[in-house]
């Protein structure tokens, strides 16, 4: 439940940033992609779609994502995602708690804008 709430808040944060900051809107225009953040069991997750500088998001998994950030479990995802250090994500990847499936470039871009 906490992960689902965190992903929803992330959606709101990205939407608000797009409305309030022109530099952020320009950053969104850099990529057209679909990114999914989910748990391995598929019980928790959210899709983020970026196209022509616009962003939409919905709960659940998109049928054809370009990139997926797949977490072993919701608790690990929540604990890691609330940390501000980039090293937390790298550590999760190193411990095989997080897998990136698909286009790595989109995953890196997303983590940059999500800060």
- pLDDT at position 84: 79
Determine the Cα–Cα distance for residues 65 and 81; give it in Å rounded to an integer.
20
Give the separation between CA 14 and CA 115, rounded to whole angstroms. Answer: 10
What the chain holds in terms of domains, given with CATH numbers, is 2-114 (3.30.1050.10)
CB 65 within 8 A of CB 47: yes
Task: Give me the pLDDT at residue 115, please.
Answer: 80
CA atoms of 3 and 79, how far apart (whole Å): 9
Question: What is the pLDDT, as a whole number, of residue 13?
Answer: 95
The length of the chain is 115
> Over the chain (115 residues), what is each successive 10-residue block's mean pLDDT?
94 94 93 97 96 94 96 96 87 96 95 88
pTM: predicted TM-score of the whole model, two decimal places = 0.93
CA distance linking residue 86 with residue 61, whole number of Å: 25
């Amino acid at each position: 439940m906490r992960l689902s709430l965190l992903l929803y808040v992330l959606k709101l944060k990205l939407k608000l940033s797009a409305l309030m900051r022109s530099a952020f809107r320009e950053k969104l225009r850099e990529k057209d992609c679909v990114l999914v953040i989910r748990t391995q069991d598929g019980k928790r997750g959210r899709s983020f779609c970026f196209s022509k500088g616009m962003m939409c998001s919905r709960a659940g998994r998109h049928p054809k994502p370009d990139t997926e950030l797949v977490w072993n479990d919701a608790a690990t995802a929540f604990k890691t995602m609330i940390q501000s250090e980039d090293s937390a994500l790298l550590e999760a990847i190193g411990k095989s708690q997080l897998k990136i499936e698909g286009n790595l470039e989109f995953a890196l871009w997303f983590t940059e804008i999500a800060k």
